[in-house]
């Protein structure tokens, strides 16, 4: 069965492309959080107070003051030209009105067209404007003779102590690469599983293949996919090793869980690929189905836009995607390190995907023995 490895496409799809995807995502998101996003300033006041705030904004990790604009219209235009993600506007007289308690109004504008960029910029702009407001209160209270502790308690009576469990830096690399890279690998598992069966049919090697296994389709399938399983397991293990050991992604769950997850992911995906071919024993149709299914997985896994936000019917549909179960199992047992029993449903679902070919095995055999490839 290992003769099949001659076709270079296998080498590409089972090793080169997945590795490429792995390095693509981990290097693209290497910063973890978008840093030094360009932000603009419209400072019509131009006093030491506003300049101090602008310096503060520039000092934040996520934002960088890229340009000053003479008017709001020009700053907006710069946003449309993709130069900045947001800007802060100080109208003329801000400082003098602030000093004389006339409550001036400053504004900040940001664009959420790029969600990650927009929310980062928004956070910094919000913080810096809040600081500006607090500075006044602080100065007043200090003049009245309040202690630092009293000032803090007055300005912010309730403090929110945020615990970002398992990803304290809200690192996007940890958040996205852990799901999308396995997703791409699973996509290849789908496709290659269907492809390898289809190629048997296309080049009329099906009969020969079944005969080698003495007419036993179970043996034939197992024999055919053994090398696939080994290669993909090595691949996904290397990936897990790379992100958790080399890149030091946080994982609360144990290595045993990570391995279990990898094994289930590989088996479930290959099972799905064979099933897709069994449903439609034609190379073209089964591969189309697999690719469409695989691409949809990324959305319906619910890792970026949560499944709970989708319509109820779609929430049920997500169960049909192995990546959804992979993601749930990953986040419950590996990412958060909760007990496996809380993810039992997804565990069972992945096992079920592994066993799916059972239903179509007869059809595959029939196809191999009797079908003729129609281009």
Partner 1 sequence: MLCLLMSIFHKFIQAINDAAFIWRQELKQVLRDEGVLMFCILVPLAYPLLYSWVYNNETVHEVPVVVVDMSHSHQSRQFVRMCDASPDVQVVSYATDLDEAKSLVSRQVAKGIYYIPEDFATKLNRMEQSTISVYCDMALMLTYKAIYQTAMTVSTKMGAAMQVALAGNYTDREDVITVSPLEVEEVSMFNPQAGYGTSVLPAVLMLIIQQTLALGIGLAAGTSRERNPYGDLVPVHPAYSGIYRIVGGKALCYLMVYAVMGAYLVMAVPKMFSFLQIASWQSLLALMTPYLLACIFFGMTVSCLVRYRENVILLMVFISLPLLFLTGVSWPQSSIPGVWQGVAWLFPSTFGVRAYLRLNSMGASVGDVALELRCLWIQVAAYFGMACLVYGHQLRESRRHANLPA
Q: Which of residues 178-197 bind partner 1 (CB under 8 A)?
A: 180, 183-184, 187-188, 191, 195
Residues 271 to 300: which contact partner 1 by CB under 8 A? 283-285, 287-288, 291-292, 294-296, 298-300
Can you tell me the distance from the alpha carbon of 34 to that of 86, in angstroms, rounded to the nearest whole number?
14
Residues 119 to 138: which contact partner 1 by CB under 8 A? 119-120, 122, 126, 129-130, 132-133, 136-137
Closest distance to partner 1 from the beta carbon of 212 (Å): 24
Place of tokens 């799916």: 356
Nearest to 304 by CA among 214, 179, 185, 217: 179
Closest distance to partner 1 from the beta carbon of 123 (Å): 10
> Which of residues 3, 6, 48, 80 is near partner 1 by CB under 8 A?
80
Is residue 232 within 8 Å of 270, Cβ to Cβ? yes
Segment contacting partner 1 by CB under 8 A, of 105-113, 208-216, 262-270, 271-279: 105-113
Assess 12 for contact with partner 1 (CB under 8 A). yes
Nearer to partner 1, 223 or 337 (CB): 337
Assess 153 for contact with partner 1 (CB under 8 A). yes
Residue span 304-333 as binding mask against partner 1, x where in contact by CB under 8 A, dash where not: xxx-xxxx--x-------------x--xx-
Backbone angles phi, psi at 169, to 5 degrees: -100, 5
Residues 236 to 275: which contact partner 1 by CB under 8 A? none
Nearer to partner 1, 2 or 80 (CB): 80
- Whole-angstrom CA distances from 218 to 354, 369, 370 are 14, 15, 18
- Measured from the Cβ of residue 151, the count of other Cβ atoms closer than 10 Å reads 18
Can you tell me the distance from the alpha carbon of 286 to that of 197, in angstroms, rounded to the nearest whole number?
10
Place of tokens 């664009």: 111
Nearer to partner 1, 195 or 353 (CB): 195
Assess 107 for contact with partner 1 (CB under 8 A). yes
> Which of residues 3, 160, 246, 372 is near partner 1 by CB under 8 A?
160
Nearer to partner 1, 46 or 129 (CB): 129
Q: DSSP labels for 265-298?
A: HHHHHHHHHHHHHHHS--HHHHHHHHHHHHHHHH
Is residue 136 within 8 Å of 95, Cβ to Cβ? no
At 371, which helix (H) or strand (E)? none
Can you tell me the distance from the alpha carbon of 79 to that of 77, in angstroms, rounded to the nearest whole number?
5
Closest distance to partner 1 from the beta carbon of 219 (Å): 26
């Amino acid at each position: 069965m290992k003769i099949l490895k001659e076709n270079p496409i296998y080498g590409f799809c089972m090793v080169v492309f997945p590795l490429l995807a792995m390095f693509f995502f981990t290097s693209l998101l290497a910063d973890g959080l978008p840093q030094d996003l360009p932000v603009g300033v419209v400072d019509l006041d131009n006093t030491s107070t506003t300049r101090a705030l602008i310096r503060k904004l520039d000092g934040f990790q996520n934002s960088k003051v890229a340009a000053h604009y003479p008017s709001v219209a020009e700053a907006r235009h710069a946003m449309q030209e993709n130069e900045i993600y947001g800007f802060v506007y100080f109208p003329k007289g801000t400082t003098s009105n602030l000093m004389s308690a006339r409550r001036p109004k400053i504004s900040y504008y940001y664009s959420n067209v790029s969600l990650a960029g927009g929310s980062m910029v928004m956070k910094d702009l919000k913080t810096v404007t809040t600081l500006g407001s607090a500075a006044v209160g602080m100065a007043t209270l200090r003049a009245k003779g309040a202690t630092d502790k009293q000032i803090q308690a007055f300005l912010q009576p309730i403090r929110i102590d945020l615990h970002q469990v398992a990803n304290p830096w809200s690192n996007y690399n940890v958040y996205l690469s852990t799901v999308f890279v396995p997703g791409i690998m699973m996509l290849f598992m789908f496709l290659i599983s269907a492809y390898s069966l289809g190629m048997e049919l296309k080049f009329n090697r099906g009969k020969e293949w079944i005969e080698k296994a003495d007419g036993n389709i179970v043996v034939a399938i197992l024999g055919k996919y053994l090398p696939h399983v080994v290669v993909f397991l090595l691949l996904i293990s290397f990936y897990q090793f790379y992100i958790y050991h080399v890149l030091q992604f946080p994982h609360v769950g144990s290595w045993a869980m990570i391995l279990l997850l990898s094994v289930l992911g590989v088996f479930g995906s290959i099972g799905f690929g064979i099933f897709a071919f069994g449903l439609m024993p034609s190379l073209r149709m089964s591969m189309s189905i697999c690719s469409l299914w695989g691409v949809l997985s990324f959305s319906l896994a619910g890792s970026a836009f949560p499944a709970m936000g989708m319509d109820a019917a779609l929430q049920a549909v997500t169960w049909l995607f192995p990546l959804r179960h992979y993601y749930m199992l990953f986040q419950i047992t590996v990412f958060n390190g909760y007990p496996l029993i809380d993810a039992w449903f997804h565990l069972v679902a992945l096992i079920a995907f592994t066993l799916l070919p059972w239903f179509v095995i007869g059809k595959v055999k029939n196809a191999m023995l009797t079908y003729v490839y129609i281009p």
